[in-house]
């Protein structure tokens, strides 16, 4: 029998000990990025900033809303691009029950950012909302 692991479930649901390193606690969180693109607009070097009080362990991407097609490329807080080229939104799963996994998780340090490059491919105004799902990782000891 093959055992499958759900990377979005709490570790204990997968039969594992909590994933937070010793001295830390993880709290589920989702950053939401909203943007409106005009027809065929290219919008490079955008970002979703993170808070200053905790690191963010990025585990999934969700396309919550879009009114047309677009392509996107993500990067971590150091500017390292996660793909060689742009990804068409149709290749990213779009509902909250089956998000596109980022596995293994990417740690965005406190006060960091997730880089976003967007290109509208619909030719019309495009209202987009992207969710970055993961956990905020808080230090519990000095």
CATH at 91:
2.60.120
40 assigned to some structural domain? yes
Tokens standing for residue 24: 């830390």
63 assigned to some structural domain? yes
| Percent of the chain that is helix, strand, coil (3-state, to 5) | 5, 50, 45
Give residue 101's domain range.
21-139
**pLDDT at residue 98 in the model:** 80
Strand partners, 57: 107, 135
Tokens standing for residue 80: 């390292």
Number of domains comprising the chain = 1
Give the C-alpha distances (Å, rounded to integers) separating 33 from 1, 16, 39, 63.
Answer: 40, 31, 19, 10
2 assigned to some structural domain? no
What is d(CA 110, CA 136) in angstroms, rounded to the nearest whole number? 9
1 assigned to some structural domain? no
In tens digits, the chain (142 residues) has pLDDT values of 455 667 666 665 665 556 678 888 999 999 999 999 999 999 999 999 999 999 999 999 999 999 999 999 999 999 999 999 999 998 987 677 788 888 889 999 999 999 999 999 999 999 999 999 999 999 887 6
110 assigned to some structural domain? yes
15 assigned to some structural domain? no
The whole-model pTM stands at: 0.85
4 assigned to some structural domain? no
8 assigned to some structural domain? no
What is d(CA 37, CA 63) in angstroms, rounded to the nearest whole number? 15
């Amino acid at each position: 029998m093959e055992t499958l692991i759900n990377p979005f479930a709490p570790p204990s649901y997968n039969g594992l000990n909590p994933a937070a390193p010793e001295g830390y606690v993880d709290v589920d969180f989702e950053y939401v990025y909203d943007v409106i693109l005009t027809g065929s607009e290219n919008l490079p070097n955008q970002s979703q900033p993170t808070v200053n009080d905790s690191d963010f362990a990025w585990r999934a991407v969700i396309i919550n809303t879009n009114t047309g097609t677009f392509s996107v490329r993500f990067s971590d807080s150091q500017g390292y691009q996660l793909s060689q080229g742009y990804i068409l939104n149709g290749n990213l799963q779009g509902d909250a029950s089956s998000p596109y996994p980022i596995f293994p998780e990417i740690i965005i340090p406190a006060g960091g950012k997730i880089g976003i490059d967007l290109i509208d491919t619909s030719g019309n105004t495009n209202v987009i909302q992207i969710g970055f799902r993961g956990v905020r990782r808080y230090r519990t000891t000095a």
